[in-house]
Structure formats: structure tokens, C-alpha cells
Amino acid sequence: MRRFVVLVHRVPRDGNFTLNDLAGGAGRMDEIARAVSTAFTVSNDLRRDTQVIALFGGEGSPASGRRITVSGTRVRYLNPDERSTAALLKNALVRAADFPREFESSPGLVVGPVDVREELRRLAAEPGGVWLTEDGTPWRVSPPTGPPTTFFLSDPYEPTDDEKSVLAAAKLSQVSIGPRSLRTSQVIDIVHHELDLAEASER
Ligand SMILES: C[S@@+](CC[C@H](N)C(=O)[O-])C[C@H]1O[C@@H](n2cnc3c(N)ncnc32)[C@H](O)[C@@H]1O
């Protein structure tokens, strides 16, 4: 399975935003929706081997964050356009706002309360994680080895110092996929591309 953990910083965690202002008042939900869409959609198909975990932190205590897990094995109603993907994510956040436990808000999309710092620590402690960062070792110089793994990356905002220290403490390998700072969705596309090429050459 290919898993992407996206650190989300300014999207209102209660889903209180309008779909008409995704890049503004919604805290760059446009890019989160694009990243989710890019992670799963290919031409006329979905990548069933992929999972995206979006950790919604930002203002307020890390303990009152939200986690949305989208699983390719089960996901439905995921279209290539970012507005409908944003609507799926917004629906999850709105319904989770006053709900104390994790639940499936639509097929393949699970949402619930989470302590972002603790969840990041847990995920980063799993073997084989890769921190995608502009300052990392170039992928082409040192491609991640072993089976596809968990890739950590941020939304259009820098990871917080707290998030950086959790990732650094886990001693993840830090990997750059190119010399330019790219958009979150572009980074996901390139990682899929590299993994697709590696898988094809193994056949
Ligand atoms: C739009 S960038 C973050 C914003 C950028 N660091 C800034 O504040 O100017 C989104 C995320 O994609 C990942 N990323 C962007 N370019 C990358 C690259 N060349 N190599 C690896 N990861 C990259 C990083 O995780 C980054 O935090």
C-alpha cells in the first residue's frame, strides 16, 4: 500500500467554510482536495492500493485535531474535480464536529477526533516512513528502498516546529523529489510516478 500523510494547517476543523472560497477562507482546502484527488485518480480508474491520511491541526490544541483517512480499497464518490472532493471532506468535518468517535462519513472515508501530535508520532514510528521535504536527499540519488511506504508531506504551509521535531525524532529518511518547491498535489503525483516506474521495472 502507498500511504500519504498530509499535514493540514489552516482548514477550519469544524468544516465551517464555503465551497465557493476554497483557496481563501477554507484555508487552502483547494490544495487538500487536489492532493486527495491526485492520490487516487488515474485516467478512468482509481488507485486502490493507496491511502491518504489528512491530519487537521492548526489553531488551538493539537489534541482537538481531526483525522480523515481515505482508503482506495473502499472509496466511492471520488471524482477528479476538486470541488466535489472538497465537498466530501467538508461533509466529514462538519459531521465530526461534535461527535466523540471515529466513523465512516461516506464509503472509504473515515473521520474522527485525534491528537495530531500523538497521531503523527505513532505514524512516524512505523517502519519505512519517508519525510518529503525540499531539503532532503534527492530521490534519484537515493530512492527509498523496500516496499511502498508512508510518505509525510505538508499542505501549502510549512510544517510547524512541533511537527518537524516529531518527524525529526522519528529519524525518518528525508527525501526531495526535485530542486523546486512544488505543490502538495504535484509531489504526490511524482511519488506515484516514481513508484509506478520502479514497480514496472521489477516485472
Ligand atoms: C507547497 S510545499 C510547502 C510550502 C513551502 N515549504 C513554503 O512554505 O514555501 C508543500 C509540501 O510539499 C512537499 N514538497 C514540496 N516540494 C518538494 C520537493 N521538491 N521535494 C520533496 N517534497 C516537497 C513538502 O512536504 C512541502 O512541505
Can you give the residue ranges of every domain in the chain?
2-202
| Confidence at residue 148, expressed as pLDDT on a 0 to 100 scale | 67
Q: Is 2-202 assigned to CATH 3.40.50.720?
A: no
**Amino acid code (one letter) for 63:** A
| Confidence at residue 98, expressed as pLDDT on a 0 to 100 scale | 87
| Confidence at residue 147, expressed as pLDDT on a 0 to 100 scale | 75
Cα distances (Å, whole numbers) of residue 172 to 61, 146, 200: 25, 14, 26
User: In the chain, which stretches have pLDDT less than 50?
Assistant: none
Q: Which atom of ligand 1 is nearest to the CA of 159?
A: 27
Could you tell me the distance, in angstroms and rounded to a whole number, from the CA of residue 182 to the centre of ligand 1? 5
| Confidence at residue 143, expressed as pLDDT on a 0 to 100 scale | 86
| Confidence at residue 62, expressed as pLDDT on a 0 to 100 scale | 66
Cα distances (Å, whole numbers) of residue 83 to 18, 34, 52, 161: 11, 9, 18, 31
Q: Which residue has the cell 483547494?
A: 30
pLDDT in tens, 37-60: 999 999 999 999 999 999 999 777
Nearest Cα to 32, choosing from 74, 60, 4? 4
CB-based pocket (< 6 A), ligand 1: 132-134, 153-154, 156, 158, 176-178, 180-184, 187
- pTM recorded for the entire structure: 0.96
| Confidence at residue 22, expressed as pLDDT on a 0 to 100 scale | 98
Axis crossing angle, helix 82-96 with helix 29-40, rounded to the nearest 10: 110
Could you tell me the distance, in angstroms and rounded to a whole number, from the CA of residue 98 to the centre of ligand 1? 32
Nearest Cα to 23, choosing from 13, 33, 14? 33
Residue whose CB lies within 8 A of the most ligand 1 atoms, among 6, 31, 120, 134, for a mutation test: 134
Could you tell me the distance, in angstroms and rounded to a whole number, from the CA of residue 181 to the centre of ligand 1? 5
Nearest CA to ligand 1 atom 24: 133
